[in-house]
Amino acid sequence: MKSRIDEAVVFFRNGEGYNCAQAVFSTYCEDFGLDKETALKLSCSLGGGMGRLGQVCGAVSGACLVIGLKHGKYLPDDMESKEKTYTLVHEFGRRFVEKNKTVNCHELLQVDLKRGDKQLIKERTSEICPRVVKEAAEILESILAS
């Protein structure tokens, strides 16, 4: 049986064009009552550091969405859930930066996703993103288990 970590990496690498945010978020969504199609649509815009802006890595954003699904605030006065969610997101970010020095996509890939050389972008995403998806899923697994 494949682990969720392996599932996320395989989903990213499967050649169907799903991005890093979709790979992480859709792997966990059904555990928290969200169907896969909706999860894929919600997380699609987060790939490439938010639509190829190179900002926050999609794998990080996808993991934060999962944390929100599990712990997020939905009642107006539920400040405890909000604080727990933020605390876990901070912990996720700290651990991700510890491994990767940044949460920013363009810094991880060292390429401009909007204007950079398309072949170089393809090479960098093939080389770096599977590792980043794996690390994000590993950190997320640990946080979800706590």
> pLDDT tens for residues 32-79?
999 999 999 999 999 999 999 999 999 999 999 999 999 999 999 999
Q: 7 pLDDT exceeds 70? A: yes
Long-range pairs for 94-100: beta carbons < 8 A, 24 or more residues apart? 95/139, 95/142, 96/57, 96/60, 96/135, 96/136, 96/139, 99/135, 99/139, 100/132, 100/135
pLDDT at 1 over 50: no
100 or 17: which carries more pLDDT confidence?
100
At residue 14, the pLDDT reads 84
Residue at 5: amino acid letter: I
Mean pLDDT for 106-133 is 93
Q: What is the dihedral of CA 117, 10, 104, 82, to 10 degrees?
A: 150
Tokens 């060292």 belong to which residue?
A: 110
What CA–CA distance (Å, rounded) separates 55 from 52? 8
Supply the pTM of this predicted model.
Answer: 0.94
pLDDT at residue 121 greater than cutoff 60? yes
Number of neighbouring beta carbons within 10 Å of residue 122: 11
pLDDT at 116: 84
Computed on alpha carbons and rounded to an integer, the radius of gyration of the chain in Å comes to 15
Does the pLDDT value for residue 134 go beyond 90? yes
Find tokens 């997101």 and name the residue: 89
The reported pLDDT for the residue numbered 2 is 67
Q: Please determine, for residue 15, whether its predicted confidence score (pLDDT) is greater than 80.
A: no
Whether the pLDDT of residue 94 is over 80: the answer is yes
Q: Are 30 and 7 in contact (CB under 8 A)?
A: no
CA distance 101 to 146: 24
Taking the domains of the chain in order of start, what are their residue ranges?
Answer: 4-145
Q: Which two tokens stand for residue 58?
A: 């999609």
